[in-house]
Structure 1
C-alpha cells in the first residue's frame, strides 16, 4: 500500500481545462475580502481592546497580519506554480503524496462547510431582528436548530439564505461575481463611512495608556485576532477559473490581506479613540461607540453592513467548498459524479448542490455552538503544510514557476510561517483537538474504505 503516491500536475491541468477562465484580479480580491471581512470587524477590535490589549489592539492586528502575510505569500507561490482547483488539497497530493492531500482536503471540508453553517445562523439572527423592527416576527418553531424542548425545529432563514446563494452560484461565475463584487464594495463603503465619521469623535486621551496590559497583552490579542484574517486561502480554490493565474492569484491573495489589514487597523484605531477601551467589552462595541457619540443612525447602517459581510463570506466559502469537493471527486477519492461540470455554465453543479444541502442541514437543524472552533484547526493545519511545502516545491524539477511569484527570503519566510502556524495551533483548546481527532478518524476510515481503492492513481 503506497500512501504517499503523488498526483501529476499535468493530469490536473488537463482535467481542469474544462473550466471557463473568467475571473480577474478584482474578482479574486472581492472573493478574498468577502471571506475575510465579516461581522468580526465590528466586534473583535472592541472586545480584544477591553480584555487583552487596550489601545495596543492596533498593534495586535498588525502582528496577526504579518503572520497571515507569511502564509499568504506561500499560498501565492503555490497557486502560481500549480494553477489548479482544490487549494491545499491539490498541493498536498502533488508535493507530499495522496494521504497528506486527503488529510488536508478533509480538514478544509470541515473549515469551509462549518464556517458557512455557523455564519448562516448569524445572518438569520440579524435578519430576524431586522424583520422584528418592522413588525414581522418569524415563528419560534422556524427560528432555531432542532430542539423541541425549547420549541424550535428548524432555522428556516439560515436554510433559505444558503440555498439562495447556491442558486446564484449555479447560474455561473459571471453573474455571481457581479453580485458579489457589488456587495463587497458596499461593505467596504460602510466600513469607510464609520472610519470617516468616527475620526471626528476621537479623544486623544482615550489612547492613554497605550499598552495598559503591557506588550504581553498585545501578543495575546494578536493570537485572538489572527483568526479574523482567515479565509484568504479560499481564493486559491479558484485557480483553474482565473485569467492569467500566475499574475492574478498573487494579486488576489496579497491584495486581500492588504485591504483587510488597513480596514481592521482603521476600525480599531477609531474605535479605541472614540470610547475608552475599558467600556468596550460589550456584544457589539462599534454600535455601542456610535450610541455613545449620538450617531445611532450609523449603527443601523452597520447592521446592514454586517448582513452584507456575512452574505459575501458565505458566497466565497460555498464556492470554495464546491471546488474542493469537485477536486476530490476528480481524483476518484469521492464519487466521480461530483467532478462533472455543467456543459452550459462550466459549474460543478453536483458538487455545489451536495455541499449546499449539507451546509443547509447543519445551519438549519444542528446547534453549532461548540463546533466552530474546529474551523481554526483545519485552517492552521493547511497553512502549516503549505508553508513548509514551499521547500519541496522549489526542489521539484517537474514543476516550473518561471516568471511566477516566489516567496522572498527563501527558506526563512516559509519556515517562519510554518512555525508561527504551529505555535497558533498549540494555543487552541483541548476540546478543539478532541473534536478534530474524531473528524480525522472519520476521514481516515473513509479514505481506507473508499478513497484509496477508487483513487485514479490505482489505475
Structure 2
C-alpha cells in the first residue's frame, strides 16, 4: 500500500470527517476588521479577570452553606478536592489556549480536535452553564447586599427578598436580577473600559479577603473545628461537587482569546496565576470561617459577615459585605463576558444565527448576545433558589472538562509538533486524572441535575439538525481542516504573525 494512500472509511458520510460529516474538524477563519474584537488585554488584566471569575459566591456564600449542611469544617477538604480536579483540567485548558488564539474556549478546542458535533454539544452545554453561573453568583450577592441595606436602615419588602421557596412571602430576588442587568450594561461599554473596572474591583476584593484572613486568624476558636468532619468524609466529597463551580473561572477566561495581546503566551500564564492565587485564599478563608463560628451556626447566605458580627466585629462585618458584593459583581462580569464570547463564536461559525454574534461598530463587543444573556440570567436569578442553579452549572462544566482533557491528550500525540505556548505536564497522567476527577465529581450530583442537562442537550441537537448543520457548511465549507493551520493563526491584530517582531513585555 502506498504510504500516501488513505483507506476508505466504512462509516456513512454523515458520521465521517468529510464535507457532510458531523465529525469534520473545524477552525474559525480570520474575520474582517469590522467584524472582530480588538486585542487590548494584557497579563495583569487577564489574571484579574480570572481571579474575578473564581473568587465570589463560592468564598462568600457557598462555603458557609456547604459547611453548615454537608461538610462542617471539612469544607476545607471540599475546596482542596475541587481545586485538585480543577488544576488537572486547567493544565489542559492552558495547553489549548497556547495553541488556539480564538474565542470560544472549549467549544473551539473540541470542534478542532474531536469534530463539529462534539464542539457544538460542548458549546451549547456551556452556553447554559455560563448563564446559570451568572445567575447563581448574583443570588449569592443579594444576601450580602441585603445585609448591608439592613445595616443602614433600608428594608426591602418581603416579596423582593428572594425566589419562591427561599422564605415566607418571597416572590422574586430583585437585587440579584438587577446586578445581572447592570453587568450586561457595563460589558456593552467596550472591552477596555469594562476590563479596567473589573481590575479595580478585583484588587479591592482581594484586599478585603486578605483583611478577613488576617483579622479572622486572631478570632479562631479551635473548639469550633471539632469534629472536623461531622458528616463523614463522604460529606466533604459531596461538598466538593457542590463548590466545584467556584474554582473553574479560567474556563470563562479562555473565551477572551481574541481580546488578549499575545494570547498564546499570556492566556496560559493568566490561567495558572489566577487559579493558584484563588486556591490559597479559599483555603485560608475556609479555616477562618469555620474557626470563628461553629458550622451549625453559620448563615448560609452571608456567612463571613454574620460570623464576624457574632464575635463583635460589626464594622468589619459591613466591610466584608461590601467585599462580597464587589466580589460577586466581578464573577458575574467574567462569566457573562465568557457566555457572550462563546455565543459570538457559535454565531460566527454558523451554528447559531449571525444576528446574535454581531459586533458593535464602535465598541467592538458582541452587544446583542450580552444583553440576551443579561436578561435570561436576571430571570433565573430572580426566580430560582441558589442550590438548584449551582448544581446545574457544575455538571455542564465537568462534562466540558472531560472532553477538553481527552482532546488535549489526543492532540499531543497526533500533532506533537504544533506550536504550544504552554505544555500540560505529566502526560498522559494529568489529563487522565482530569477526566477521572470530573466523572467522579459528577457522580455526586442529584439525578434531577442529569435530567435537566439531558433535556438541554436534546434541545441543542434539535437546533443543530434543523439549523446549524446546514448553515455552518455555508459559513465554513469543506471537510476537516488540517490542524497544522493552528500554527498560522495570529494572536495579534495583524492578519498573520510576524516571527521577527519583538515580543511585548
Contact 2:241 2:445 in 1 (8 A): no
1:343 equivalent to 2:361? Answer yes
Q: Distance in 1 between matches of 2:301 and 2:388?
A: 19
**What corresponds to 2:38 in structure 1?**
20
Contact 2:107 2:122 in 1 (8 A): yes
**What corresponds to 1:384 in structure 2?**
402
**What corresponds to 1:7 in structure 2?**
26
Q: Distance in 2 between matches of 1:220 and 1:240?
A: 37
Q: Distance in 1 between matches of 2:145 and 2:228?
A: 37
Q: Distance in 2 between matches of 1:205 and 1:442?
A: 51
Superimposed CA distance per residue, residues 357-399 of structure 1 (whole angstroms, 9 cap, x where no aligned partner): 3333444466776444211111111111011111222244498
Q: Secondary structure of the equivalent of 1:360?
A: helix
**What corresponds to 1:312 in structure 2?**
330
Contact 1:17 1:240 in 2 (8 A): no
Contact 1:6 1:95 in 2 (8 A): yes
Q: Secondary structure of the equivalent of 2:23?
A: coil
Structure 1 residues 351 and 207, CA, compared in 2 at 3 Å: closer, same or farther? closer
Q: Secondary structure of the equivalent of 1:83?
A: coil
1:449 equivalent to 2:466? Answer yes
Structure 1 residues 107 and 399, CA, compared in 2 at 3 Å: closer, same or farther? farther
**What corresponds to 2:456 in structure 1?**
439
Contact 1:85 1:323 in 2 (8 A): yes
Q: Which moved more, 1:196-205 or 1:415-424?
A: 196-205
**What corresponds to 1:233 in structure 2?**
251
User: Equivalent residues in 2 for 1:283-432 (5 A)?
Assistant: 284-364=302-382, 370-397=388-415, 400-402=418-420, 404-432=421-449
1:180 equivalent to 2:198? Answer yes
Q: CA deviation at 1:278?
A: 5.4
Q: Distance in 2 between matches of 1:159 and 1:184?
A: 21
Q: CA deviation at 1:238?
A: 0.4
1:264 equivalent to 2:285? Answer no
TM-score, structure 2 as length reference: 0.81
Q: Distance in 1 between matches of 2:325 and 2:379?
A: 21
Q: Distance in 2 between matches of 1:24 and 1:3?
A: 36
1:81 corresponds to which of 94, 99, 103: 99
Q: Distance in 1 between matches of 2:427 and 2:106?
A: 20
1:63 corresponds to which of 78, 81, 99: 81
Q: Which moved more, 1:361-370 or 1:349-358?
A: 361-370
Q: Distance in 1 between matches of 2:263 and 2:330?
A: 22
Superimposed CA distance per residue, residues 399-426 of structure 1 (whole angstroms, 9 cap, x where no aligned partner): 8224x10111111111111111111112
Q: CA deviation at 1:348?
A: 1.7
Q: CA deviation at 1:210?
A: 5.0
**What corresponds to 1:195 in structure 2?**
213
Q: Secondary structure of the equivalent of 1:201?
A: coil
Q: CA deviation at 1:54?
A: 4.8
Write 1 or 2 for the structure with the bigger share of helix: 1
User: Equivalent residues in 2 for 1:139-150 (5 A)?
Assistant: none
Structure 1 residues 269 and 317, CA, compared in 2 at 3 Å: closer, same or farther? same
Q: Distance in 2 between matches of 1:347 and 1:36?
A: 23
Structure 1 residues 16 and 267, CA, compared in 2 at 3 Å: closer, same or farther? farther
Q: Distance in 2 between matches of 1:364 and 1:401?
A: 45
Q: Secondary structure of the equivalent of 1:408?
A: coil
Q: Which moved more, 1:328-337 or 1:220-229?
A: 220-229
Structure 1 residues 73 and 12, CA, compared in 2 at 3 Å: closer, same or farther? farther
Q: CA deviation at 1:349?
A: 2.0
Q: Distance in 1 between matches of 2:418 and 2:404?
A: 17
Q: CA deviation at 1:321?
A: 0.9
Aligned residues: 455
1:39 equivalent to 2:21? Answer no
Gaps of 5+ in 1: none
Q: Secondary structure of the equivalent of 1:243?
A: coil
Q: Secondary structure of the equivalent of 1:171?
A: coil
Superimposed CA distance per residue, residues 287-314 of structure 1 (whole angstroms, 9 cap, x where no aligned partner): 3432342212211111111111111111
